Amino acid sequence: MRVLFALYAEKTHLYIQVPLARALEAAGHEVRVASQPELVPDITRAGLTAVAVGRDHGMGRLLAMRPEWKSRFGGSSLPPFDVAGVSEWEGGVGYLRAGYEDVVPWWFRLVNDPMADDLVALCRSWEPDLVVWEPGTFVGAVAARACGAAHARMTWGVDFFARTREQFLRLRARDPQGLGSDPLGEWLGALAGRFGVEFDEELTTGQFTLDQLPEPFRLETSVDYVPVRYGIYNGPSVVERWLWERPARPRIGFTLGLSAVERLAGYAVSVPEILEALSALDVEVVAAVRGWEGPAPRNVRVTDFVPLAALVPTCRAMVHHGGFGTIGTTALHATPQLSMPDQMDAIWLADGVTSYGAGISLPVEGVSGKAVVAGVEQLLEDPSYAVGARRLQADLHAMPSPADAVGRLVELTAQHRARPVAAV
């Protein structure tokens, strides 16, 4: 079958999709990845076939012009999604509606509208059987419906998109103002209508959702989740010789991810303070951080980049920002984790790790070098964290790998394919 992966230009989201795309190709299916021109070099470096659609979304330029938005977009509170983790939130539909009114124009419209015409045209021309889209690329669902393809979302964290949407619809149904406005539905309905596609909730949540972490990480929703184990792709990588050798002392990995520097407002914690504090321990620290200047503290190796898949297996503990890729890679190698989550989905991801007893989560507002050292010492000295990490690893390995999931995707695609929609 033909499979199209659709995503707006965001490198970390691409990296999440690569293992499944490769598995589909290895099984003999034809795969293309459609995104804005900015992402094409990263797609082709992953060995996948790229199709440039539309124009670049300009999120980076927007955030550069409005630095205060960087913190809002990358922080722990972004309405309406900040209430996704609250069970049966009853704060009123107005709060959620105002949140959607805010994020729809400067996030969803900004990244989707520039690629809509080309993506729909591509789907009508190439006629994929299945379109896989990341949760913010709603136009992937529109394009799939236009050409009659089955379509699935693929998560890159916990599914706060669907959880928030269900909270909003539940409260909106009780709205005494005759339901009131629906900023997401109105924008997406107008976008879909341009191509003869009728709006329904399937355009917001997909026909099914590929979820890459075990069930304890999930927020409560009615979505049809199809488990596909998280797969590792670190981008173009070189394993340096020092990673071949067994460290003389316990090794601690440290990373705060790519997005904080490349897209957002920078690191949310003091890297020099934390590394200086860790250097006092009888350990070796490997810190993957951008923009480090001057000599590193003793016992600390600072590098711009190191492939986590090569680093994590050599570590006794990982200290990180709670990012999806970092948590997934660390969990696959049964390494205890200390998370300092800042972004809202990172907070829920870190909660998932602690629910297994596989790590510690420190609220980013209270992070200090002293607190990190205390947490690392706890991970090293208390064997229960290693036991929890192995339990999490076992649950991950019990999920279908990307290769094992291909057959199920073929079945679901056959069930959900439909007739194309006539062009308007």
CB within 8 Å of 53: residues ≥ 6 apart: 34, 35, 36, 115, 118, 119, 122
CATH number for the domain running over 241-397: 3.40.50.2000
Give the whole-angstrom CA distance, residue 224 versus residue 229.
Answer: 16
Q: Which option is the CATH number for 2-229+400-416: 3.30.1120.130, 3.30.450.40, 3.40.50.2300, 3.40.50.2000?
A: 3.40.50.2000
Give the whole-angstrom CA distance, residue 207 versus residue 201.
Answer: 9
CB within 8 Å of 229: residues ≥ 6 apart: 212, 396, 397, 399, 400, 401, 402, 405
Cis geometry, peptide bond prior to residue 272 (ω within 30 degrees of 0): no
Using alpha carbons only, how large is the chain's radius of gyration in Å? 22
DSSP reduced 3-state for 287: strand
Distance of CA 367 to the CA centre of its chain: 23
Domain ranges of the chain: 2-229+400-416, 241-397
Structure tokens at 217: 């990480």
179 conformational bin, left if phi > 0, alpha if psi -120 to 50, beta if neither: left
What Cα–Cα distance (Å) separates residue 354 from each residue in 56, 68, 155, 227?
A: 38, 31, 20, 21
Same fold, 2-229+400-416 and 241-397: yes
- pLDDT tens for each residue of the chain, 424 residues long: 999 999 999 999 999 999 999 999 999 999 999 999 999 999 999 999 999 999 999 776 666 655 655 555 555 578 999 999 888 788 889 999 999 999 999 899 999 999 999 999 999 999 999 999 999 999 999 999 999 999 999 999 999 999 999 999 999 998 777 678 999 999 999 999 999 999 999 999 999 999 999 999 999 999 999 999 999 999 999 999 999 999 999 999 999 976 544 444 467 788 999 999 999 999 999 999 988 888 999 999 999 999 999 999 999 999 999 999 999 999 999 999 999 998 878 999 999 999 999 999 999 888 999 999 999 999 999 999 999 999 999 999 999 999 999 999 999 999 999 999 988 7
Burial label for 423, CB within 10 Å (0-12, 13-18, 19+), is exposed
Let me know: does 315 contact 278? Beta carbons within 8 Å.
no
